[in-house]
């Protein structure tokens, strides 16, 4: 068989491979009402967080760290916001806070444990883009933080520690679709 004929025989196979890797009408969308996605927290990132989920998906946070407390804070981004979460995270804190007024849910997980919701239910119901962040101060004592959180009357507790985990890169973006 000539080189020209062998290449000609490969073209249909390559086209099938490219088509299989392309848009597959939502095969990468996971979850939905009554379904749960488990996300792992490590120092300082989220693991197994899908890019896109169906509305009604519940999130569980497993903290794989032996030291740091982690959280899954889901913030609905305004519909007209087009910048990526990575771009938003480079804004000055005052601008960032102005963009993040609507916290939908907060799931907190002590070191080595599965988390539990402390605000909302852990379910993302409304379609749109969400910033997922961990705002726990780096190096905060988990027991001190949990006690301060239990005593807090709205808003994050004030505890000693370094910059929030999202400054260390613990943030992501999730899109929720119908």
Looking at residue 19, its pLDDT comes to 37
Q: Give the residue ranges of the chain where pLDDT is below 70.
A: 1-27
Size of the chain, expressed as the number of residues it contains? 178
What are the sequence ranges of the domains in the chain? Answer: 25-177
HSE at residue 131, side-chain half, CA atoms within 13 A, is: 27
Pick the CATH number of 25-177 from 2.60.40.420, 3.40.50.2300, 3.40.710.10, 3.10.20.600: 2.60.40.420
Model pLDDT for residues 23-49, shown as the tens digit of each residue = 445 558 999 999 999 999 999 999 999
Looking at residue 157, its pLDDT comes to 86
């Amino acid at each position: 068989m000539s080189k020209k004929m062998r290449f000609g025989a490969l073209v249909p196979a390559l086209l099938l491979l490219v088509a299989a890797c392309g848009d597959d009408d939502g095969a990468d969308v996971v979850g939905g009402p009554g379904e749960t996605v488990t996300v792992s927290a490590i120092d300082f990132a989220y693991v197994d967080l899908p890019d896109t989920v169906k509305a009604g998906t519940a999130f569980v946070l497993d903290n794989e760290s032996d030291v740091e407390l982690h959280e899954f804070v889901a913030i609905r981004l305004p519909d007209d916001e087009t910048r990526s979460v990575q771009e938003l995270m480079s804004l000055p804190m005052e601008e960032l806070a102005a963009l993040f007024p609507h916290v939908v849910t907060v799931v907190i997980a002590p070191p080595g444990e599965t988390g539990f919701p402390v605000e909302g239910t852990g379910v993302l119901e409304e379609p749109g883009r969400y910033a997922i962040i961990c705002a726990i101060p780096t190096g905060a004592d988990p027991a001190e933080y949990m006690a301060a959180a239990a005593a807090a009357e709205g808003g994050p507790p004030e505890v000693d520690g370094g910059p929030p985990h999202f400054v260390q890169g613990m943030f992501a973006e999730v899109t929720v679709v119908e």
